[in-house]
Structure 1
Amino acid sequence: MVAPAVEAWTLPAGHAELDRMLAASTALASEAELLDAVRSAEALRCRLAALDAAVIAEVERRGLAGKHSQKTTKALLRSVLRIHPADAANRVKAALAVGPRQAMTGEPLPARFPQVAAALAAGAVNPEHARTITDCIDTLPDGVRERAHDHVEALLLREAAESDPGVVRQLGQQVHTHLDPDGRLPGDRTSQRDRGLDLRVRADGSSVLHGDLTPEATERLRTLLDAITHPRTLDPDTSTTDTAAESAAGAGGTAAGALDDEGMVTPPRASGPVRDTRSASQRRHDGFLQLLRLLQANAATPTGGGVHTTVVLTLPAEDWLAGTGVARTGHGDLISTAEAIQWAGGNPNVLGVALDSLHGILAYSERSRCFHEQQRLAMLARDGGCTFPDCDAPIAYLEADHITPWIVTGRTCVDDGHLVCVFHHR
């Protein structure tokens, strides 16, 4: 017999009522009735968001993700609901903010934002209102947030009852300015709590970088960029490489110069001095690219998944020779072969891997206990990433695994190995 609480979550009566509502015709409704229906539908959508938060909070509390071979609740929702990762992340965040909680001893606890939770459950505010309010309070300095939490929550909810989320966000910014006018209130813990770096990758492999850096990370990055990005006049008669001002060539094409054997950019030849015409923002981008090149060339960089820090580009040998087709990056993006050759520079480390029609690697084996770097790169060319279904873990999280235990075969070879991420390997 189904427990009443679980039966309520399956919403049989709710689905039946929605079926009745969807079957109803709106053609004969008056304008006033249509507007009432729009408001009722919105209130229902908001209340369903509160139900969604309650269910996801319970999924998180029980640790169902791990029981279903998923790393996080976000990954579980993405798989089960077939939703975008960003949507899954927002739902988990909402569940932790307005969903019910439980103490370690078992007694129920109110939501972190009880007033917002109640308003959402009543259909008085929508999920975007709720996210705007919780984000505003969460980003207040620690001491201020503890003292002003209830008051700010109530203030923003009153505004949400009359205004859209954009207006509520503006009021939240005014609250920040009022409570922390110079932005100097207990900043150490706030910057540590809010630190982060996000990379939103576009379809063509380029990206939008956004981050909240701690004071130390900011100072170190600014110091390095100051040294490597200042504009200068390039003298084509000199043989030295201008360390980073010319690094635009690495991202901008052969007209700006070519890569030398160490991955640096050689200035172009011209009849006179070449003026650096890049904007300050472009110089920072090119300097950042050069810093990444220098870092990767440093032998002290860490290994990822048993392979020295390496940009992995996979493409057919004939395309490499002809300069045609596309290459696949280690993160699964596609770039043109011409661009891949440019990335590789003048001294690439090329590993040839012969694959059969079933993508098996032909005649490639070793007797060592652990897979070495060449084997891992070969398996990366074949597997493309973690072999667990629907896992998109990047290269740095991959581990080489024996399909048949080494203690049984006594051999370590790519035809009896595969790549799995740390989570699924465990």
Structure 2
Amino acid sequence: MKTPWYRGNRVDLLENGEAFFPAVFDAIRHAQREVILETFIVFEDKVGRELHEVLLGAARRGVQIDMLVDGFGSADLTPDYIHSLTAAGVRVRTFDPAVRVLGMRFNVLRRMHRKIVVVDGERAFVGGINYSADHLADFGPQAKQDYAVELVGPIVGEIHRFARSAIHGPTEGGAPHHHGLRAAWGRWRLQGGAGRGPASTVPAGGADALFVRRDNLQHRNDIERYYRIAIRRARKQVLIANAYFFPGYRLLHELRRAAKRGVEVKLILQGEPDVPIARTAASTLYDYLHGGGVKIYEYCERPLHGKVAVIDDEWSTVGSSNLDPLSLSLNLEANVVLRDKPFARHLRSRLDHLIEHSCRQVEVPAKQSVAWWAQLRGFVVFHFLRRFPVWAARLPTHAPKLELLAPAEAQPQAAGGTHGR
């Protein structure tokens, strides 16, 4: 299915929570009709509490609020947090919740990993930043480095239509339907309906924009495909910053091909990861990438959480999708792809700043110093990645459950603790 480009958009880069949270919260405070917010994580820290406050304020003045959180990433929200929102009229939904077993969460696959906000159908935010204090520098050494964009213009209409369809799932208003994943997701896609206000179609800037998502039906590899096309067309430079880097064979192959034809290919990956296995997995690819002339930098100031790229100072992408098996083959993701030279140059300058001030370059090892077991490991990883998309398609699937939480007065009395929902 071909995804349309929208011309005439304004796009602003929002780096880290210091830029992202004030912009989103201000937009919600000034909302007139509707706010749609979906995210993987909301924590009840100072950021989650401020989000709670601005949503309550908007709902109490009559703005329609729809909030979608993931049942794995936001599993620890307390009943008080949720019930006060629903009592004010906020429609809170949980994507694919699951009961804990011995305190453990096992619903780890096929998560709703998108981070999208649409306000009045006129302003949209897309990126990788969750609603948690660890996206602020004052969190300390574990504060995350991340990116999002604020969009105004015709692309917002496309994001608005998608977001409205995503908040209406197959299980709302009754028991789940059991007619298979494809039928359930088909109903979900068609149940969105019209918004409460017209989506923006007035040109606001000079950027061409594309809204690209990944799902488990019609858009299984759209995000990866746009990456590969852009890398294949690169003539001067490819610069990718990605937190969890373990992509498929075809994307790795395109990176090596670009470097071998003279394109400067640079990767910014995690040097101080929040999930140590992420760096371990990525490092198994270093020899293969170095062999093709790809330059690798590890960001060492704090955990990298960004998912961005710039190619030839013309093409760029910002979103929620990592370049790893979970994002590329299992999770629900959303990116924007942009053709805008001023924005691309600005994003590249921010990434160059990271390389210059906060990264170490991973040196190319001498061939004779590479141990036999490392060569064997590289061989196994390489062929695993070649076959992973086929294996991923065989992993367990089910019709996703979207649970609309009832207002506080309609809920049974909670017994206490953070597990009641």
Would the TM-score normalized by the shorter structure come out above 0.5?
no
Q: TM-score category by the smaller chain? A: under 0.3
Scaled by the length of structure 2, the TM-score of the pair is 0.23
Scaled by the length of structure 1, the TM-score of the pair is 0.23
More strand by share: 2
Which has more radius of gyration? 1
Q: Comparing both chains, which one has the higher relative contact order based on Cα–Cα distances under 8 Å and sequence gaps of 6 or more?
A: 2
More helix by share: 1
